Amino acid sequence: MRVTKKQALRLICALVFLVLCFTAAKISATLAAGLDSQKAAERWAAGGEEDYAQISVFLSRDSGFTEESISGISDTVDAALVTASLKAEEDTRLWYSAYSTQIGEMELTGNRRNAASAVVTAVSGDFFTMHPMRLADGSYLKADDLMQDRVVLDTKLAWQLFGSSEVSGMEVIVNDTPCLVAGVVQPETDGASQVAYGDKPRAYIPYALYDQLQTAGEGESQWISCYEAVLPDPVRNFAKTTIENAISAGDGVHIVQNTERYSLSHRWDTLRHLHDLMIIPDSTAYPYWENAARIREFDTAVLLGLELLLLIFPVIYGLRLLWKGYRFLERFMAEKRKAHQRRFRTI
């Protein structure tokens, strides 16, 4: 059977579209995999048999969510895990949580004369377990640190204050309060995180230091803008429902399940409601990692749309080929039957 130029062109187009579709899918997967802040559940599961899910809760100041609310949430989650017969092994934790508050800009001074203005975020002890930024020097802040007067700088801020990244143990003045540098972190290098991170340098301080800088005797607990948790997800939506029950979703509370954010079904939903990504509910302010994740949500949803478009021609062509092949087979079988009949007649 001779193949015409037109047919060859159609075949090549279909193959090219297929390859482009797979390439788009691969790019989408690569973009999603580039966000370490969304893969905390995978890291916690460490390839084990249990399923874990990462849940993020973003809160506005009006939601009234403060440090004092944390122990109540932990108790509710522990009770839910016990009810579901989930128990931690000895010397291990079944789940963990981290919370943070983006305070705003503060003046920091190192051993260089000029002060630098940095965006300061107050973080809880497990924040860096949830967001393991690359350490250029020193170590992360930990919950069981004896002294809660240490800060973590990013490499840009360390350069501005000291002229080097290897500055752990050196003194830095934060809002006229002397502190020590615990470590220096490298911000995430993927495109979305770099866009969301912005140009301003960042510093991370423990909540005890935030209390000292902010209230100075008022005795009030600080509000929390972002609460994240990694907990077991033995059945679909168990983790999200547990957190929703613990936090009592209402005005000013926005809950996200990070783990299935880039699944096919979620990408399809996002594509259908793309405008929702543009809307930030209430007065919630998203931290930069959530903004990076939303950028990638947009990207992967758009890529899904592109994949679907690219699949149209190969699918139609494939169906047409199938139909042609079916007709060819039909004709072939008919000729075979005729030839067989002719032979009998001759005999």
One residue of 144, 250, 265, 343 binding other proteins per CB under 8 A: 144
Q: Does position 92 bind other proteins by CB under 8 A? A: yes
Q: Does position 145 bind other proteins by CB under 8 A? A: yes
Using CB under 8 A as the binding criterion, the count of chain residues that bind other proteins stands at: 42
Closer to other proteins by CB, 216 or 347: give it. 216
Rounded least distance, CB 133 to other proteins, Å: 10
- Helices 238-247 and 68-83, interaxial angle, to 10°? 140
Residues 146-175 that bind other proteins (CB under 8 A): 146-150, 168-169, 171
Closer to other proteins by CB, 47 or 104: give it. 47
Closer to other proteins by CB, 43 or 266: give it. 43
Rounded least distance, CB 264 to other proteins, Å: 24
The SS3 of residue 334 is helix
Phi, psi of 244 (to 5 degrees): -60, -45
11, containing H or E segment: helix 5-33
Q: Does position 204 bind other proteins by CB under 8 A? A: no
Taking the C-alpha atoms of residue 288 and residue 202, their distance in angstroms, rounded to an integer, is 11
Rounded least distance, CB 135 to other proteins, Å: 4
Closer to other proteins by CB, 27 or 135: give it. 135
One residue of 64, 72, 163, 178 binding other proteins per CB under 8 A: 178
Taking the C-alpha atoms of residue 248 and residue 67, their distance in angstroms, rounded to an integer, is 16
Closer to other proteins by CB, 94 or 302: give it. 94
One residue of 2, 89, 250, 346 binding other proteins per CB under 8 A: 89
Q: Does position 194 bind other proteins by CB under 8 A? A: no
Rounded least distance, CB 28 to other proteins, Å: 19
Residue 125: CB partners within 8 Å, gap ≥ 6? 98, 141, 142, 143, 144, 145, 206
Residue 244: CB partners within 8 Å, gap ≥ 6? 255
Site string for other proteins, 34-63 (x = CB under 8 A): --x--x---xxxxxx-x-x-----------
Rounded least distance, CB 168 to other proteins, Å: 7
The three-state DSSP-derived secondary structure of 225-293 is CEEEEEEECCCCCHHHHHHHHHHCCCCCEEEEECCCCCCHHHHHHHHHCHHHHHCCCCCCCCCHHHHHH
> Scanning the structure block, which residue is given the tokens 């107050």?
122
Residues 17-36 that bind other proteins (CB under 8 A): 36
Q: Which stretch binds other proteins (CB under 8 A): 86-94, 221-229, 284-292, 305-313?
A: 86-94
In this structure, how many other beta carbons lie within 10 angstroms of the beta carbon of residue 114?
Answer: 8
Residue 160: CB partners within 8 Å, gap ≥ 6? 110, 112, 114, 116, 201
Rounded least distance, CB 296 to other proteins, Å: 17
The SS3 of residue 121 is strand
Rounded least distance, CB 46 to other proteins, Å: 4
Measured in whole angstroms, the distance separating CA 150 from the mean position of its chain's CA atoms is 27
Write the CA distances from 201 to 11, 92, 183, 198, integer angstroms: 53, 35, 14, 8
Rounded least distance, CB 35 to other proteins, Å: 11
Closer to other proteins by CB, 180 or 274: give it. 180
Exposed e or buried b for every residue in 45-74, given b needs 16+ CB within 10 A? beeeeeebbbbbbbbbeebebebebbeebe
The SS3 of residue 46 is coil
Rounded least distance, CB 85 to other proteins, Å: 16
Residues composing the chain? 347
Binding site for other proteins (CB under 8 A): 36, 39, 43-48, 50, 52, 88-89, 91-94, 96, 129, 132, 134-136, 138-140, 142, 144-150, 168-169, 171, 178, 180, 182-183, 217, 219
